[in-house]
Structure 1
Amino acid sequence: LRGKPSELNWKAEVTKTPYNRNRTRQFYLDFPPEGVSYEFWARDLALIALGLRTMRQPGELCNLRLSDVKLVGGLFWVRINKSKTDQLAKEKFIPIEKMSSRFCSVERVVNYLKVRPVTKGDAPLFLSKSRKKMSVLAISAVVKRFAEHAKMKGRFTAHSLRIGGATAAMKGGLSMEQIQTIGGWVSDAARLYMRAIGTVNLGASIAMGFEG
């Protein structure tokens, strides 16, 4: 087992239930659960959309700061400062195309920023109720709340966004290389995942269904 931590981590991830993007689109966007304020509804929608689209680790979503997201040259750029597969903390930039759809992940983040509380300095992008950085457990709670509200059954955690995004990308036609690059997976882990979910038609946003 020694020497292959990526494979072990990946096997742990695939036991989670992939998050169903379509159920979120058709149900949750129009009907927020009772007791959720507009600010946190907007935050949760942005978190879910960005998590699915970028396919990044939950910890990386937690660590995103305001300065890590920018609209430049017609593209929305997300900067990942450090990942589990890049312990040297080399920056990675993920470009996301803006689309004329209310399901667009860029639109979701922009809408959230309009209602996000003003903070001093370079604060976390996604704020908890205490105005601090969200934890992985907090993201898992958001995912579970979404899933329950949309009547999805399964074992949902923060990793379900990463798995759900990859599943949608593969079914939409993105290559394994493209998925690895966006999600930051090493090749062995990506191959394990391909086998785990079965054979699919390998053909980012249109392919993944964000055009809605």
Structure 2
Amino acid sequence: MATVDRSTLAGRRDAAALLLGYACAARVSELVALDIADVRETPEGLLVTIYRRKIKTFTEVAVPYGRIPASCPVRAVRDLLAAMAEAGHTSGPLLVRITRHGHIAPPLTRGGKQIGDPHGRMTAEACAEIVGRIAAAAGLEGRWTGHSLRRGFATAARRAGATLERIGRHGGWKDGSTALLGYLEEGDRWTDNPVTGL
């Protein structure tokens, strides 16, 4: 997150996209589908209503405040909402296109006809590009895609001791999902050894 310039509207959007996507274990298509109305702040954090396309249902995901302000998804979303309100954007898509001049992008046209989302909603591809760009700027090795947020959440939550059931329900996987098991990265054979502690 240290590579993101949060003094700009685009930087605030990028930080919110990364941190909220990770905290919700969201696919980028689910993340860009969020509207401002889908994110409610509570004293404990955020309640985010996400349509999980694979299981064809809405889930409400609780996102608590992070311990470290710079990587807190609640604070990042709050900063983005404040900046967008200042720019006059208080409803519609949460993640919007930003021009190179730092303004919320106007509707796109081709041949005089409007194309794309009329409210400036980002595409899933553009959101995935944010993940790759910021990972590269941070000097992270490997292949980073939009799905890295979801996969990284599952792996980190499991290593932190969360049960597969809680991880699955938080991220919108069905109970007993074999797909979730495929997302868990193999850890170091010594630090993640199942014999440790027996």
TM-score, normalised with respect to structure 2: 0.75
Larger RCO, structures 1/2 (Cα 8 Å, 6+ apart)? 1
Partner of residue 106, structure 1: 74
Partner of residue 143, structure 2: 155
Query: Whose strand fraction is larger, Structure 1's or Structure 2's?
Result: 2
3-state SS of paired residue (2:19): helix
3-state SS of paired residue (2:52): coil
| Distance in 1, Cα, partners of 2:163 & 2:76 | 26
3-state SS of paired residue (1:50): helix
| Distance in 2, Cα, partners of 1:99 & 1:140 | 23
1:144 aligned onto 2:112: no
Partner of residue 163, structure 2: 175
Pick the aligned partner of 1:97 from 59, 64, 72.
64
Identical amino acids, percent of aligned pairs: 29
Deviation at residue 98 of structure 1 after TM alignment: 2.2
Who wins on radius of gyration, i.e. which is larger? 2
Deviation at residue 201 of structure 1 after TM alignment: 7.1
What are the ranges of 5 or more consecutive residues in structure 1 without an aligned counterpart? 1-23, 203-212
Query: Whose helix fraction is larger, Structure 1's or Structure 2's?
Result: 1
Amino acid at match of 1:191: L
Pick the aligned partner of 1:191 from 168, 178, 181.
181
| Distance in 1, Cα, partners of 2:45 & 2:29 | 24
| Distance in 2, Cα, partners of 1:176 & 1:150 | 30
| Distance in 2, Cα, partners of 1:190 & 1:86 | 13
1:28 aligned onto 2:3: yes
Deviations 1:119-142 (A, max 9, x none): 36x410011122511111101211
Does the C-alpha gap of structure 1 residues 118 and 100 become closer, same or farther in structure 2, counting only changes over 3 Å? farther
Deviation at residue 85 of structure 1 after TM alignment: 2.3
TM-score, normalised with respect to structure 1: 0.71
| Distance in 2, Cα, partners of 1:159 & 1:91 | 19
Does the C-alpha gap of structure 1 residues 95 and 61 become closer, same or farther in structure 2, counting only changes over 3 Å? same
| Distance in 2, Cα, partners of 1:193 & 1:161 | 11
Moved over 6 A (4+): none
Partner of residue 17, structure 2: 47
RMSD over equivalenced CA pairs, Å: 2.3
Partner of residue 53, structure 2: 84
Deviation at residue 191 of structure 1 after TM alignment: 2.4
Q: Which moved more, 1:178-187 or 1:59-68?
A: 178-187
Conservation of the 8 A alpha-carbon contact between 2:155 and 2:183:
no
| Distance in 1, Cα, partners of 2:193 & 2:81 | 36
What are the ranges of 5 or more consecutive residues in structure 2 without an aligned counterpart? 99-104, 107-119
| Distance in 1, Cα, partners of 2:68 & 2:41 | 17
